[in-house]
Amino acid sequence: MESPESAERLDLRAGARVRILSATPEAKAKSLPPESLAERTATFVETDLAPVGARPGPARRRRERRPRRRRPPERPAGGARARPAPAAGRGCRMGSFLPTPRQLAWQDLEFGMFCHFGVNTFTGREWGDGSEDPAIFRPERLDCGQWARAARRAGMRYAMLTAKHHDGFCLWPTATTEHCVRSSPWRGGRGDVVRDFVGACRAEGVRPGLYCSPWDRNAACYPDPQAYSAFYLAQLRELCSGYGPLAEIWFDGAGSEGYRYDWPSIMKVVRELQPEAVVFNMGDPDIRWGCNESGYGSPDLWTVVDASRWETVWGEADLTPPGVYMPAEMDTTISRAGWFWHEGAGDRIKGLDELLGIYYRSVGHGANLLLNLAPNRDGLLEEAEVERAAALGEAVRRRFGAPLGSAGPGVGALEVHLPEPVLAARFEAMEDLSQGETVLEWVLEAQVGHHRHGRAWHRLAEGRALGHKRLGDFAPIAARRFRLWAPRSRGPARLRGLRIFGVE
């Protein structure tokens, strides 16, 4: 793990015209878990750069856009607000502009499956109130292998299961409460959905992750934060020690407004038992929520965001220091029916074009995408959803599987040279984020014209945030040379790769 001093060294070694200020006194004064990155808050000075022969152009300014928030389809009567400020439950981290290895590894996963499954599946609700009888949980044909195969077929590299949703029903035989699979007639009370899930994922090469809601509407001790802390920590210890390495742990802020969770202790358990897992949204998070449930990420989806308000950053006109490295995860459902399975869910599936648009605006905007496929009351995914997810995976592979040419990694600019002019129509550009987010503006160009009459660079695409990945289509053009460069960057722009694709 880097120290503030080593961060300075890294940038000096790179010869960057960037000044990095080391940890703020405010951050230093805070008492933080030793694993926390909180003491490495830094500020930046950006630079203007151009590749040799390139004219730096003024940035096309985009107006700041605000996220629109969608309500869950069904809200419990008198229930808690859906979107409490996550700040209510965090309070550990000031952050770092440098990534950790687990953040970088998680960003490479890119596309995952979300599985909302539990007592709500059997009641048809989106938020259970905790009074559900465990006897209703009877997924007699449960086959997590089917879920994991569907994820792999769709090109998903990770999968997240709601081990415990807000209703408090645990999908594993926890020692902390009887409100769990042990009290269900399913498999004679000896079933463990979490065990089936992680095993099936691993068998298919899909990294498993778990969602364990802090808000618990069943636990009698919930009103007493101290008692609930011991209860919740015990649940997390079970999940983090009993099921092998996890890719991600989801902490959802719903229902938690004003509640004081013991985040330092929670983070200690997670970091000790699951050092590779990224933490979503609360505590000392590694990753942030993309601010909507449509899966549409901002065109300016920055990876380094304002540390003081990372939880509400969708797309910003400008980055304000101090920055924190906090990649975004977008989530949405494949069916319009909801997060959990509902009667007729299979008839309300989003179209392939819409899903492809979501993919372009999440993975293609540098975020990870969690696409929810809800298992039904049999414990199976709807075949229609499985097939649509597979079609999405196939469409992505068709578009971005076989490049005409590629280049990278490199610093400043990347050029793809093709042996002869070919009709190109789309691109994939990636930033090397290993030393933080450097690109503040990027441009993709193709060289056009005949060599006897002079060649010119023709702009195909441009933007501000580049981040982990940028996918895009452009009007088909026959060209031999393509280049990606950064008119504005923090020090030298570190580019991971450029791939050019033909017309489908």
Candidate residues 7, 254, 279, 439; the one interacting with ligand OTN per rule CB under 6 A: 254
How far lies 158's CA from each of 53, 148, 205, 314, 370, in Å? Answer: 43, 9, 8, 23, 9
Q: Please report the DSSP string for 284-340 in residue order.
A: S-SBEE-S-SS----TT--SEEETTSGGG-SB-SS--SSEEE--EEEEEESBTT-SS
Instruction: Report the C-alpha gap between 151 and 115 in whole angstroms.
Output: 10
User: Any contact of residue 87 with ligand OTN (CB under 6 A)?
Assistant: no
User: Any contact of residue 252 with ligand OTN (CB under 6 A)?
Assistant: yes
Candidate residues 30, 83, 153, 458; the one interacting with ligand OTN per rule CB under 6 A: 83
User: Any contact of residue 289 with ligand OTN (CB under 6 A)?
Assistant: yes
For the CB of residue 394, give the shortest distance to ligand OTN in the complex, in Å.
26
287 or 495: whose CB is closer to ligand OTN? Answer: 287
327 or 487: whose CB is closer to ligand OTN? Answer: 327
Cα 189 to chain centroid, rounded: 34
Burial class (CB in 10 A: 0-12, 13-18, 19+), 308: middle
User: Any contact of residue 357 with ligand OTN (CB under 6 A)?
Assistant: no
For the CB of residue 144, give the shortest distance to ligand OTN in the complex, in Å.
20
Question: From the DSSP assignment, how many helices (H) and strands (E) are in the chain?
Answer: 10, 18
User: Any contact of residue 281 with ligand OTN (CB under 6 A)?
Assistant: yes
Query: What radius of gyration, in Å, describes the C-alpha atoms of the chain?
Result: 23
For the CB of residue 254, give the shortest distance to ligand OTN in the complex, in Å.
3
How many of the chain's residues bind ligand OTN (CB under 6 A)?
13
Residues in the chain: 504
How far lies 428's CA from each of 55, 169, 444, 463, in Å? Answer: 23, 42, 10, 13
User: Any contact of residue 110 with ligand OTN (CB under 6 A)?
Assistant: no
Instruction: Report the C-alpha gap between 179 and 122 in whole angstroms.
Output: 15
How far lies 51's CA from each of 44, 156, 269, 415, in Å? Answer: 22, 36, 47, 11
Closest residue by beta carbon to ligand OTN: 253
253 or 283: whose CB is closer to ligand OTN? Answer: 253
User: Any contact of residue 253 with ligand OTN (CB under 6 A)?
Assistant: yes
Given the rule CB under 6 A, which of 50-58, 78-86, 104-112, 192-200 is the region that contacts ligand OTN?
78-86
- On the question of a cis peptide bond just before residue 409, with omega within 30 degrees of 0, the verdict is yes
85 or 418: whose CB is closer to ligand OTN? Answer: 85
431: nearest Cα among 406, 468, 471, 485: 468
Given the rule CB under 6 A, which of 1-9, 54-62, 79-87, 230-238 is the region that contacts ligand OTN?
79-87
151 or 160: whose CB is closer to ligand OTN? Answer: 160
Given the rule CB under 6 A, which of 22-30, 93-101, 195-203, 249-257 is the region that contacts ligand OTN?
249-257
69 or 141: whose CB is closer to ligand OTN? Answer: 69
331 or 382: whose CB is closer to ligand OTN? Answer: 331
For the CB of residue 333, give the shortest distance to ligand OTN in the complex, in Å.
9
Instruction: Report the C-alpha gap between 495 and 489 in whole angstroms.
Output: 11
Instruction: Report the C-alpha gap between 450 and 216 in whole angstroms.
Output: 67
User: Any contact of residue 82 with ligand OTN (CB under 6 A)?
Assistant: yes
254 or 493: whose CB is closer to ligand OTN? Answer: 254
Given the rule CB under 6 A, which of 12-20, 61-69, 82-90, 224-232 is the region that contacts ligand OTN?
82-90
Q: Are 394 and 352 in contact (CB under 8 A)?
A: no
User: Any contact of residue 216 with ligand OTN (CB under 6 A)?
Assistant: no
Mapped onto helix, strand or coil, the DSSP state of residue 501 is: strand
User: Any contact of residue 472 with ligand OTN (CB under 6 A)?
Assistant: no
Mapped onto helix, strand or coil, the DSSP state of residue 94 is: coil
For the CB of residue 345, give the shortest distance to ligand OTN in the complex, in Å.
14
Walk across the sheet containing 207-212 and list its strands: 278-280, 248-250, 207-212, 158-164, 111-115, 368-372, 328-333, 288-289
Q: Kindly list the residues in this chain that would bind ligand OTN in the complex (CB under 6 A).
A: 72, 82-84, 126, 252-254, 281, 289, 293, 331, 339
